[in-house]
Amino acid sequence: MVQKLDDYRYLLPKTFREGMKVEGLIYANEELIGAIERDQTMMQVANVATLPGLVGRSLAMPDAHQGYGFAIGGVAASDIHKGVVSAGGVGFDINCGVRLLASPFTLEKVRPKLDALLNQMFRDIPCGTGRKGVMGGLSAEELDSVLENGAHWAVKKGYGTQEDLDHLEETGKIPNADPNEVSRRAKERGRDQLGTLGSGNHFAEVQYVTEVFDSAAAQAFGLREGQVVVLIHTGSRGLGHQVCTDYLEVMQEAMKKYNIVIVDRQLACVPIQSPEGQRYLKAMAAAANFAFANRQMITHWTREAFERILGNGNLRIVYDVCHNIAKQEEHKVDGSTRRVLVHRKGATRAFPRHRPEIPKDYAEVGQPVLIPGSMGTCSYVLVGTEQAMEETFGSSCHGAGRAKSRTAAKKEISAEKLVQELEAKGIRVRGASKSGLTEENPNAYKDVSQVVEVVHNAGIAKKVAKLVPIGVIKG
């Protein structure tokens, strides 16, 4: 049985299902736990707890919902020597993530030119399924360089500055990436997709800061009330999807060799130190670097659009976070510091102040945690905490979390009516397809404000600022 620990934490004891090696812990309030109980999320948290070599607890954030093997919103850490890596614990959109850009403009300056700005961004940023990048197809050598160097490749090509890199998780380059471990099929899928937004829940939103909760952190992040910002949400496109597909097959076959038995075939995994585990981590890092470069290119197109329409393209990167990643990190486990592999699938790193991994200018406040809402609702900036390090391997939620399937969402409302409703709220929309809009209508998601209140009140991330959209670009 699930045990309610307090208003924001629910424990799955090892007796919840046979084979659990560690406990499960779900962050939620009463309403959100009700939503979590309606799909397979809870059982997926318990299933993950059966994997060999896990340390701490199998975790789920308040935006958690059913995913492939691991719940989306799941966090799990493996002992680096005795544990396993699971491709399903990262997911198909490797390094799907969010980047926040702070503009020099107020809402009053942007609103009169908003339509022109959105039209320019919609022209400059390729959106939708199958859209090709502005650059055209990359050569094999150039693509390998992207996979190895991530956002550093883009900056070297003139699409940004060193200051940009200083404000990206891992400086926009996951180490130990090896393009040779990425299949020809994956490379072919990604070759002409650099600088593209894609479809699904990916977006570029023009927003403004409506409320500041933590003035010291907001000042450090360069955010103030009334300021226009841009939030970019996209990932590694077809390349990352294919990397996951490829290595799920590798892992499912290799488990026989390592005598690993799992309760759900979607949890396919291999020992971290095995040849297959190392190959996956090198390929995953390469796909993650593609995503960093992708967001860097979209940042460049966004800056150009602001320059053309508003006369100033000086948009400063506040931060860029990964949502789907597995990373080696040092954490305290049972009182001692250990190196572990942290799977974050639909979860955001939330490190506190003075951690060496975060930008120097944020050292006194902590790492920005970027939480996008659904289309037409608000988003949030939070900051990481010490409590997150103690409880969640320095992790927080990553968004609102789906409450309805895309099929169900499409049946609820027409694209025309959705656009009318959003424009009645003062939100302009540009979409590559009608189905792309209706799939992502706000009613398909949980209430992002409730999700954020849970992590805030649980102490694993603290609210800094609230952002409200005025313009949305969707794939």
pLDDT in tens, 124-151: 998 766 555 556 678 999 999 999 999 9
Cβ count near 201 (within 10 Å): 23
Task: Give which of 189, 188, 230 is closest to 208, Cα–Cα.
Answer: 230
- Which tens digit of pLDDT belongs to each residue from 70-90? 999 999 999 999 999 999 999
- Which tens digit of pLDDT belongs to each residue from 341-400? 999 999 999 999 999 999 999 999 999 999 999 777 899 999 999 999 999 999 999 998
What element of type H or E holds 292? helix 275-310
User: Alpha-carbon distance 120 to 383, whole Å?
Assistant: 32
Bridge-based pairing state of the strands 368-371 and 24-27: unpaired
Are 367 and 383 spatial neighbours (Cβ–Cβ below 8 Å)? yes
Listed range (130-139, 245-254, 287-296, 354-363) with the worst mean pLDDT: 130-139
* Distance linking the first and last C-alpha atoms of the chain: 42
User: Alpha-carbon distance 401 to 446, whole Å?
Assistant: 6
The predicted pLDDT at position 401 comes to: 73
The predicted pLDDT at position 132 comes to: 58
The predicted pLDDT at position 137 comes to: 73
User: Alpha-carbon distance 400 to 445, whole Å?
Assistant: 6
Bridge-based pairing state of the strands 203-212 and 97-106: unpaired
Q: How confident is the model at residue 243 (pLDDT cuts 50, 70, 90)?
A: very high
Token pair in block for residue 100: 């926040």
Are 236 and 298 spatial neighbours (Cβ–Cβ below 8 Å)? no
Provide, rounded to the nearest whole percent, the portion of the chain with pLDDT above 70.
93
The predicted pLDDT at position 422 comes to: 82
Give the position of tokens 């896990």.
54
For residue 411, is pLDDT > 90?
no
For residue 434, is pLDDT > 70?
no
Token pair in block for residue 253: 């076959």
Residues catalogued as catalytic: 398
DSSP letter, residue 148: H
Q: How confident is the model at residue 406 (pLDDT cuts 50, 70, 90)?
A: low
Token pair in block for residue 316: 């400063």
User: Alpha-carbon distance 440 to 430, whole Å?
Assistant: 13
What element of type H or E holds 280? helix 275-310
Output phi, psi for 290, to 5 deg: -60, -40
Residue type, 250: V
Q: How confident is the model at residue 329 (pLDDT cuts 50, 70, 90)?
A: very high
- Which tens digit of pLDDT belongs to each residue from 16-66? 999 999 999 999 999 999 999 999 999 999 999 999 999 999 999 999 999
What is the average per-residue pLDDT within 404-426?
A: 74
What is the average per-residue pLDDT within 163-169?
A: 98
Q: Where are the domains of the chain?
A: 3-474
Q: Which stretches of 150-271 are assigned E, i.e. beta strand?
A: 203-212, 227-234, 269-271
**Contacts of residue 285, Cβ cutoff 8 Å, sequence gap at least 6:** 174, 175, 176, 177, 178
Q: How confident is the model at residue 430 (pLDDT cuts 50, 70, 90)?
A: confident
Architecture of the domain made up of 3-474: Alpha-Beta Complex (3.90)
Token pair in block for residue 249: 């097959």
CA quadruple 68, 48, 78, 57: dihedral sign:
positive
Output phi, psi for 238, to 5 deg: -65, -30
Provide, rounded to the nearest whole percent, the portion of the chain with pLDDT above 90.
84
The predicted pLDDT at position 436 comes to: 63
Mean pLDDT estimate for the chain: 93
Q: Is 17 helix (H, G, I), strand (E, B) or coil?
A: coil
User: Alpha-carbon distance 370 to 52, whole Å?
Assistant: 31
Cα–Cα distances in Å, from 103 out to 82, 89, 124? Answer: 46, 35, 18
Strand partners, 270: 85
For residue 101, is pLDDT > 80?
yes
**How far is C-alpha 92 from the geometric centre of its chain's CA atoms?**
12
What is the average per-residue pLDDT within 237-264?
A: 97
